A and B are shown apart, each in its own frame.
Chain A
Amino acid sequence: MPKSATDTRHFIIAGVLVAISTVVMDILLKALLPMPVQGSAQAQIIDQLAGWHLTLIAFLFSLVIVIMLYSLFVFRKRDGDESEGVHFEGNTTLEIAWTVIPLIVVFVFAFFGIRALTSITKAAPNEVVVNVTGFQWAWSFEYPGTGIVSPELVLPVDQLARMDMTARDVIHSFWIPEMRVKQDLVPGMTTTIRFTPVIAGEYNLSCAELCGRSHYSMIAPVRIVDQAEYEQWLADQSARVAPAPAAEAAPAVAQTDESAQSAAQTN
């Protein structure tokens, strides 16, 4: 082992160990943090960005831990040695380097972070719009212009969907893990979330913002279906609404919701 703390051999050995550890940690991290199915176009963008973050984490973790462990083994006090370590108060060049290089990395990650944010929130002219209402402790989905109010969310695959959302009592949050994105529902205002489902199937929408006693069970079924099936579903639902005059059907639903709310408040 080289004796001097500034011997180049120390740095070469530590550097190689950091490189090996980075590769191992990168694989390990991605195994320990398994993302759900990529159910939306936005999920692909988010997962790619998350992947870069995890690689950076693997590198920085290795950098600190390997150098720390290396010091613990190589620079530990030997038996009988009561002398002091090298008196070394600092190095301004190094300090500037480890301020400036992270600054550059921050700017790079901020740039890609902003770009990802812009692309996952982008609007499109032919969005499928659904009005979402959250209340203690359930969801309701209204398809504007059709009179349909449904307890399950049905959306066509491969088409940008926009949820215009509000909450009736307390704050809730809209989250389908497979779609990745999340947005709070706030009483007294309308918030919006967009995502493009890409895989047909059944999912769960759950409330991600603590909303009282049964927060854990505020879950609604979500079905992503192909375009034909979606239109069929819309037609079926409309047919169910249509026979009774729309004016009657809507208040009936509203009433149930209100009674749910007043029941919630008495709790």
Chain B
Amino acid sequence: MTLWSLGLVRGLVGQVVGFVTGMLLVMAARLALGMDPVWSQEPALVGGIVLGAISFLIGVGALSDWFKWMRGIPTPLHHGPPPGQPSWTRYFSVDYNHKVIGIQYGVTSLIVLGIGGLFAVIFRTELARSGFQFLDPASYNTYFSMHGWAALASILIGIGAMANYLVPLMLGAEDMAFPRLNAFAFWVNVPGITTLLLSLNYGWDGGWTVYPPLSIIGPVGFQFTFYAIFFIGLSSILGSVNLIATILLMRPPGMSLFRMPIFCWAVLATSIIQLTATQLIGQAFLMLSFQRLLGMGFFDPAKGGTPILFQHLFWFYSHPAVYVFVLPGLGIISELLPVFSRKPLFGYRWVALSSIAIALVGFLVWGHHMFTSGYVEYLRVPFMVSTLFVAIPTGVKFFSWLGTMWGGKLTFPTPMLFVLGAISVFLIGGLSGPILATTATDLFLHDTYFVVGHFHATIFGGFIFPFFAAIYFWYPKITGRMYDETLGKVHFWLMTPAFWVMSIGQMSVGVMGMRRRIADYDPALGVEFGHVLITIAAFTIAFSVLLMIYNLLTSAEVGRVAGDNPWRSRSPE
């Protein structure tokens, strides 16, 4: 085995070669057009980004089978590790098995989550005291912007992990409907991540929302972000096509939609959003890139554009995207709660349809992010009412979970603890929603730390906690061994109270007048103590996640061998 046989290595080399070639092509084009100077940083870099990503995909081998088809070479689906290679190499190369792809997604997600978390801890430390300690405002802005997109990328990839690994197993399908597309959808994330990380070299200070004109006049790091998210968004779209096809067409005879495991309903709802809404953000980010690069004035008032148009396009994806982030996690809660309550899920049909309802209503609420934006004033009313409606299907889920636990025989191993933690945290996130949805109160709370507290609670409760529950729950399925239960419980008991402190602390300083995204604050606001607490809580969470990683890595070798069904679950996987 040589290093070159690993697809990842070939892909990264390909990306570097493609990047340089792309820059040279742009320079050649400028030379041909007689433009002076031939070297211009931004066009050259964009050429490099695009060709680099394509070259990565060619290098890693994600396109090989399609090339073979064009040359008329047959490509039978290969099962098992590549011939003559140790089996671990599968995970570093293109592989069509959905379980391998699920693990690839999962490990990538945890790595990117670590990167996103690292940025958070860095700027969180800076915020513990007013005044500037070790960051200057420009790098502070870059770090929190990077935190935003790195964390969201890790969530999207983590959802890919759960869906790809679990859905075919739960349906009893042999694999996903389109295995090659599945591999492509995973691998396109990798150049997305490397491109995002490269943006650090140039900096960008727009936050994850990258509103123009700020993102137009800002540094060239923005271009890296636009394309990084475009690639990761492409993965979302292709992955969701595959999941919808698998769920609708590959169920075994006799498994009607209303007999599927509840998690599949959540994935179906999520995939509908991903398939239809992701186009909008891809388009919007390309428009930003073209405005910078080619002077197209989409969002420039001087050229007949308007900055507010971008906000509409952005939130038309990014609000439903929040439901993309949380619906699979809520599906995990609905899946695991019955296992540890020794009772079936209460109101299965209602829970299933509430996911679809949340997905559909989610398309009608994007304007609640724009109450202060300056769009036509009467729009605030319908967007307020439509947003409040989201409370109803969400309430159905909560009450059904309570109904599931009531009268059960509850046990509390680590996955169940994380499910309960998820409910408590998502409750904080959910209940802090209506006060933001109500325009009058939002005019006060908008762009304060209250919002930061609200969505971190929503995302942790809706994704991070259930994701960790799923990792612990299916760990024996994946590795054949049990994780260390004591370490798992320590992880939970460190992370959950720390998270409560963090999100309630954020809401508290927000109400006291702490604005979002500020590198420094006025100690006269009286929020410094709150920031110290939040920072301590953030470090505690970071430490507890490291404990989990340690647990997962060591238990794969030394954990006790798990039986076929360690959780006495009824689910078919």
Contacts and interface: CB of A to CB of B under 8 A. Distances in A.
A120 B443 contact: yes
A110 interface: yes
B205 A213 contact: yes
A26 interface: no
Contacts of A45: 440
B520 interface: yes
Contacts of A216: 137, 515, 518-521
Interface stretch (A60-68, A147-155, A220-228, A231-239): A60-68
Contacts of B388: 106, 109-110, 113
A191 interface: yes
A213 B137 contact: yes
Given A50-B441, A170-B217, A185-B374, 4 more contacts: A36-B513, A75-B405, A186-B307, A186-B373
Question: Which 6 pairs of residues, A with B, have the shortest CB-CB distance?
Answer: A188-B301, A5-B407, A216-B518, A85-B343, A85-B408, A90-B347
- With a 10 A CB-CB cut-off, give which of B213, B308, B377, B411 has the most chain A CB atoms: B213
Interface stretch (A173-181, A242-250, A251-259): A173-181
Q: Tell me if B's interface is mostly helix, strand, loop or mixed.
A: helix
Interface stretch (A96-104, A124-132, A138-146): A96-104
A189 B377 CA distance: 14
A95 B428 CA distance: 22
A181 B423 CA distance: 33
Given A32-B504, A88-B346, A210-B206, A50 B444 contact: yes
Given A60-B431, A98-B395, A120 B440 contact: yes
Interface stretch (B265-273, B312-320, B379-387, B546-554): B379-387
B434 to A, nearest CB: 6
A33 interface: yes
17 contacts: A4-B407, A33-B511, A46-B440, A68-B402, A75-B405, A81-B409, A83-B409, A85-B407, A88-B344, A90-B400, A94-B403, A98-B395, A106-B389, A106-B391, A109-B388, A216-B520, A217-B520
Contacts, number: 257
Interface of A: 4-6, 32-36, 43, 45-46, 49-50, 53-54, 56-57, 60-61, 64-65, 67-68, 71-72, 75-78, 81, 83-91, 94-95, 98-99, 102-103, 106, 109-110, 113-114, 116-117, 120-121, 169-171, 173, 175, 177, 180-189, 191, 204, 206-217, 219, 265
A109 B434 CA distance: 9
B392 interface: yes
A75 B515 contact: no
Nearest to A178: B513
B213 A98 contact: no
Nearest to B520: A216
A75 B409 CA distance: 5
A71 B213 contact: no
B178 to A, nearest CB: 35
B438 interface: yes
A36 B486 CA distance: 44
Contact of A67 (B306, B374, B406): B406
Contact of A186 (B374, B507, B519): B374
Nearest to B203: A213
Nearest to B346: A90
Contacts of A33: 507-508, 511
B410 interface: yes
Contact of B348 (A72, A90, A183, A204): A90
A112 to B, nearest CB: 8
Contact of A61 (B348, B391, B431): B431
A210 B207 contact: yes
Interface in B507-546: 507-508, 511-513, 515-522
Contacts of A77: 342, 409-411
A236 B374 CA distance: 34
A123 B303 CA distance: 33
A117 B392 CA distance: 23
B555 interface: no
A81 B207 CA distance: 53
B512 A36 contact: yes
Nearest to A211: B214
B448 interface: yes
B302 interface: yes
B293 interface: no
B446 A188 contact: no
A114 to B, nearest CB: 6
B434 A84 contact: no
A50 B435 contact: yes
A6 B407 contact: yes
Interface string B259-299: 00000000000000000000000000000000000000000
B39 interface: no
Contacts of B504: 32
Contacts of A57: 431-432, 435
Interface string B356-396: 00000000000000001110010011001100110110011
A53 B384 CA distance: 14
A84 B343 contact: yes
Contacts of A217: 520
A75 B213 contact: no
A163 to B, nearest CB: 12
